[in-house]
Structure 1
């Protein structure tokens, strides 16, 4: 984001705070879900990509609670655009906070091999960013196939509804344990289960290219996005009513609606024609 760009923020964002009882209920619901998915798959390991961000950190905590540290294998997959502190956080989460087996796999050589094969895309920031996400997915499944593992995703509800993930990249997983939580609630549950505040409150970034941040790319703060999703996309309020309720321009509401509608294909299996009778 440049100095001239601004991020839309609601004057009065919707309070999505969960009570302690609700957080306990979500915790139990998610860990039960993880255990049932693991058992149904007949898996020997849960494979988790750790980025150092709050989504993968919370997912890691819940995986260990549900399955035990001995049944979780984390992959830390840095590239040249990753901030060193995020990769350090990922290794800290794996080794100090979760005490799980983990491997560090540098993906630059693999990304470079693809770009050498098709150099026309080398200067395309979006294409190369998505390539990094897809390379990580391939590695996750390589390890999962070798270890009879279940690839566990880290996507939350806010990002899923606006398509803020890479199709067949970070969206290519066997299950998404925190899929029902808005981003605000991810941070709440993280603190509730004991994630240190420096991790629970850190700025979110998919780090698909240098300097990228989630809020900068989305053009709005997560509190604003969550409010629009809860009131307008998931909820009953019109564009005008939502804008008035939280104090943002109607254009911001329309942007979120457009993202939701344009990303529908990401939330569904690839289509095919109807069967002939």
Structure 2
């Protein structure tokens, strides 16, 4: 695998850079408050730590939003993070909201992807409901690895005002989390979006994050060809590199605003 780990000085610089970004984004939005969905995963946990550092714990409102398929340990970890940081938080059960959507359109109730995306989008609506009421901004938790391959729900967890971790590969997220003092249990926890029962990120992606990061850094973000990347990353085939490239290309629409026709002249 490609070693994307940062030195101690680089970690300090990234921490300072992200904290300043959050402060600048809040100031530009005319607020000193933020809303953050807490999942108990490493991305939302690190984002919580850095946002609390940037704005003050009292100015960060955490939302814990379990659904029917949420793992109990994820939700308890989410509350643990809020209590550890001493940030105010609320728990909203999203299952009644999702059920109302499925009551309205029952044809989709057996489509796990469609229902999983409704869960993500219901959380986004709650984030903005609270944010609008409190005149706050919604802070996202997306990292670079997932953004590049489109591993997020459009208008769901992608519906935010900023992504403080947006330039960090997943392994760098873990490293920075350990650096700022996130408990080891959360740093090493298996990632899951919790969109359906038994779901894990790496199984759904078809690659472990270290392999994905290596391919992205060398081929998508870097100059190497498919063949050269496969030679450079031990145990990776050209087909896997192509798979990541296709994921990147097919998800381009998720990383840009909805298109409109070119203006007539």
With the length of structure 2 as denominator, give the TM-score of the two structures.
0.99
1:201-240 correspondence to structure 2 within 5 Å: 201-240=188-227
Equivalence for 2:65: 77
- Structure 1 stretches lacking a partner, 5+ long: 1-12
1:145 aligned to 132, 154, 159, which one?
A: 132
- Structure 2 stretches lacking a partner, 5+ long: none
1:181-200 correspondence to structure 2 within 5 Å: 181-200=168-187
1:34-45 correspondence to structure 2 within 5 Å: 34-45=22-33
Per-residue CA deviation, residues 143-196 of structure 1 (Å, 9 max, x unaligned), is 000000100000000000000000000000000000000000000000000001
SS in structure 2 of the partner of residue 271 of structure 1: coil
2:17 aligned to 10, 25, 29, which one?
A: 29
2:152 aligned to 162, 165, 170, which one?
A: 165
Equivalence for 2:82: 94
SS in structure 2 of the partner of residue 59 of structure 1: helix
CA distance in 2, matches of 1:98, 1:56: 13
Task: Report if the CA contact (8 A) 2:32-2:55 is conserved.
Answer: no
Equivalence for 2:142: 155
CA distance in 2, matches of 1:142, 1:45: 14
1:56 aligned to 24, 28, 44, which one?
A: 44
Per-residue CA deviation, residues 196-244 of structure 1 (Å, 9 max, x unaligned), is 1000110000010000000000011000000000000000000000001
Task: Report if the CA contact (8 A) 1:205-1:213 is conserved.
Answer: yes
CA distance in 1, matches of 2:32, 2:246: 41
SS in structure 2 of the partner of residue 73 of structure 1: strand
With the length of structure 1 as denominator, give the TM-score of the two structures.
0.95
SS in structure 1 of the partner of residue 62 of structure 2: strand
CA distance in 1, matches of 2:215, 2:254: 20
* Offset, 1:98: 1.0
Task: Report if the CA contact (8 A) 1:44-1:147 is conserved.
Answer: no
Q: Is residue 19 from structure 1 mapped to residue 13 from structure 2 by the alignment?
A: no
CA distance in 2, matches of 1:67, 1:119: 43
CA distance in 2, matches of 1:134, 1:143: 14
Task: Report if the CA contact (8 A) 2:64-2:79 is conserved.
Answer: yes
Per-residue CA deviation, residues 97-128 of structure 1 (Å, 9 max, x unaligned), is 21100000000000000000000000000000
SS in structure 2 of the partner of residue 195 of structure 1: coil
Task: Report if the CA contact (8 A) 2:52-2:85 is conserved.
Answer: yes
* Offset, 1:44: 4.1
Q: CA RMSD in A?
A: 0.5
SS in structure 1 of the partner of residue 93 of structure 2: coil
Larger RCO (CA within 8 A; separation ≥ 6): 1
Consecutive aligned runs of 4 or more in structure 1 exceeding 3 Å deviation:
none
